[in-house]
Chain A
Amino acid sequence: MADALRRPAAIKAVPVRHPGRWVAAVVVLAIAAEVLYTFITAPNLQWGVVGHYLSHRLILQGIVTTLELTVLAMLIGIILGVVLAVMRLSPNPVVSTVSWLYIWFFRGTPVLVQIFFWYNLALVLPHIGIGIPFTSIQWQANTNALIPAFMAAMLGLGLNEGAYMAEIVRAGLISVEHGQTEAAQALGMTRLLVMRRIVLPQAMRVIIPPTGNETISMLKTSSLAFVASVPELFTRSQQIASATFEVIELAIVASIWYLAMTSILTIGQYYLERRFGRGTQRGLPPTPLQRFRRMLVTFHAPPPDEAQPVVVPSPIPRRDGR
């Protein structure tokens, strides 16, 4: 280790100063303070009302409905998306065309119209039933009983989401290198097995970020259930507002809750991505908290090399480990 002894001292230099960062920070803070001040001191804005309704029973019930609607619609969307994407890539021309038509239709019409359609279906089809043709075996139900308001919103949001998720999943599937499929096929796996065990898990890394994005988007889009009178967060806040005329106050209440929920989802998405990033990077990327701490330390100093966030000396020797 003669080299180690002769290693020169580490470089100590005055880091480059970044006055621009300080100027930007001051300007941003000033603007933010001004905007906040304007709203806080607005003469007709009653902050007490906002505080009062923030934890109001009806609002909290609305939040539960919003969450239920979001989760169920996304569940429908994701399952439908995976099925449609696999269908779309199927060698069977009938199956892939069906998938194409579905995506074309549900992506091509506004989701608001779709919710409206399901909600008002009883106007044209008072009864829905299924039966076996040419026999007397059949089953029928009242459309309004079969598709209550919540179901109409869930169907509208979920079926529409399925079309978008299908494209996201498809992009993920075709991003997996073809060699993976070949290697799995060479081992004797069937097409479905290859898809389920090899391609889909690897596609997750590509699928998850936009899916998180869709979930966050869905949380807000679920407010369109307003047109079906589903008592979710926005509907509730508007019902209260129409009785008390405190429109802006209740819009603020709804916004605060939406923002809180999307913030939690954003954090959840981050950790989900970390989980599915296994096997693609040598070290896991830093958590937001770690990154924030590092930012505080390095705010006025040169940024650490972002390309290699965690510099872990590889424990694996490059040469044969025997």
Chain B
Amino acid sequence: MVQAEAVHKSFGRLEVLRGIDLEVYPREVMCMIGPSGSGKSTFLRCINHLEKIDAGRLSVDGELVGYQQRGDKLYELRESEVCQKRSEIGMVFQRFNLFPHKTALENVTEAPILVKRESRSAAVDRGRKLLDRVGLAQKVDAYPNQLSGGQQQRVAIARALAMQPKLMLFDEPTSALDPELVGEVLDVMRGLAEDGMTMVVVTHEMGFAREVGDSLVFMDGGVVVEAGKPRDVLTNPQHERTRSFLSKVL
């Protein structure tokens, strides 16, 4: 589903990604861990072209992200084409980023109506079902600031799902939550994984990575240090850097 070959990305003179190679298979849940500043979030944002990569190749579902290859030349995609591709990839942010001037239901139905041009009634119908699925059937008319952090994040997940994405990206979805609210969000994500959604999850929740993840990637300094089955990486890390990181967080 996602293929990365030698992906590089710099912000000014700071090189954040220094050659990322990895592959996410359909229906796979890949968890990414690593210290802050290691490039996990940046890599995630490259996948839906919120950041432009400087070198290497990155493709989703066999198509390059942000470019099109014709012959041996690369052409930058136009805005409408980039938007079309983004609409097939769901993203959930650390800070939720719900639209504060819209109710939970309006947050969920906004993009299907405007981007996919669905009829309002169809979008509202599915929006209600999605909010029910994340356990918020009672909260359809609540504004984001009337919801707890966990509830907001579940609305955000429903909002992303409303576009019927083929891939979901999670950028530290539980890092801004009170400890007792983390569980409800992880439960929703676990349900998604069981339904066969392809997911890339940047997280610090080792328990989730171990139980739900199909693969685990440890990143540091802009490179993938170690990757493999979560159980193997967590219990039997091969690299010194991985060992020292895990010894601090576990």
Q: Is the CB of A188 within 8 A of B50?
A: no
Kindly state the separation between the CA atoms of A302 and B130 in the bound complex, as whole angstroms.
49
Q: What string of 1s and 0s marks CB contacts (under 8 Å) between B159-181 and chain A?
A: 11001000000000000000010
Across the interface, name the chain B residue whose C-beta is closest to A196: B114
Q: Is the CB of A190 within 8 A of B144?
A: no
Q: Is the CB of A189 within 8 A of B114?
A: yes
Interface size class of B (residues with CB under 8 A): 35 or more
Kindly state the separation between the CA atoms of A188 and B83 in the bound complex, as whole angstroms.
4
| Residues of chain B contacted by A188 (CB below 8 angstroms) | 83-88, 111, 115, 163
Pick the contact of B146 from A177, A180, A201, A282 — CB < 8 Å?
A282
Q: Is the CB of A202 within 8 A of B91?
A: no
| Residues of chain B contacted by A197 (CB below 8 angstroms) | 110, 114
Q: Is the CB of A189 within 8 A of B83?
A: yes
Q: Is the CB of B138 within 8 A of A198?
A: no
A244 contacts chain B at the CB level, 8 A cutoff: no
| Residues of chain A contacted by B151 (CB below 8 angstroms) | 320-321
Across the interface, name the chain A residue whose C-beta is closest to B149: A318
B122 contacts chain A at the CB level, 8 A cutoff: no
| Residues of chain A contacted by B156 (CB below 8 angstroms) | 183
Q: Is the CB of B135 within 8 A of A187?
A: no
Say how far B184's CB is from chain A's closest CB, in angstroms.
6
Q: Is the CB of B80 within 8 A of A190?
A: yes
- With A179-B95, A278-B101, A320-B151 in contact, is A191–B79 under 8 Å at CB? yes
Within 8 A of A (CB), among B14-51: 48, 50
Q: Is the CB of A186 within 8 A of B50?
A: yes
Pick the contact of A185 from B50, B80, B144 — CB < 8 Å?
B50
Across the interface, name the chain A residue whose C-beta is closest to B48: A186
Total contacting residues, chain A, CB less than 8 A: 30
B238 contacts chain A at the CB level, 8 A cutoff: no
Kindly state the separation between the CA atoms of A279 and B143 in the bound complex, as whole angstroms.
6
Say how far B192's CB is from chain A's closest CB, in angstroms.
17
Within 8 A of A (CB), among B109-143: 110-111, 114-115, 135-136, 138-139, 142-143
Q: Is the CB of A278 within 8 A of B143?
A: yes
Q: What string of 1s and 0s marks CB contacts (under 8 Å) between A173-186 and chain B?
A: 00001011011111
| Residues of chain B contacted by A282 (CB below 8 angstroms) | 145-146
| Residues of chain B contacted by A191 (CB below 8 angstroms) | 79
A36 contacts chain B at the CB level, 8 A cutoff: no
A7 contacts chain B at the CB level, 8 A cutoff: no
Q: Is the CB of A202 within 8 A of B111?
A: no
B100 contacts chain A at the CB level, 8 A cutoff: yes
B97 contacts chain A at the CB level, 8 A cutoff: yes
Across the interface, name the chain B residue whose C-beta is closest to A202: B101
Say how far A188's CB is from chain B's closest CB, in angstroms.
3
Q: Is the CB of B99 within 8 A of A180?
A: yes
Q: Is the CB of B86 within 8 A of A279?
A: no
A21 contacts chain B at the CB level, 8 A cutoff: no
Within 8 A of B (CB), among A50-106: none
Kindly state the separation between the CA atoms of A188 and B97 in the bound complex, as whole angstroms.
15
Pick the contact of A321 from B85, B90, B100, B139 — CB < 8 Å?
B139
Q: Is the CB of B100 within 8 A of A186?
A: no
Kindly state the separation between the CA atoms of A282 and B100 in the bound complex, as whole angstroms.
12
Q: List 15 A-B contacts (CB under 8 A).
A: A179-B97, A180-B99, A183-B156, A184-B111, A185-B83, A188-B83, A188-B85, A188-B111, A189-B83, A189-B114, A191-B79, A201-B101, A202-B100, A282-B146, A321-B151
What 7 pairs across the A-B complex have the smallest Cβ distances? A188-B87, A183-B97, A187-B111, A186-B91, A179-B97, A188-B86, A188-B115
Chain A interface (Cβ < 8 Å from any Cβ of B): 177, 179-180, 182-191, 193, 197-198, 201-202, 278-282, 314, 316, 318-322
Given contacts A183-B93, A187-B159, 13 further A-B contacts (CB under 8 A): A179-B93, A182-B97, A185-B50, A185-B83, A187-B87, A188-B111, A188-B115, A193-B115, A197-B110, A197-B114, A280-B100, A320-B148, A322-B138
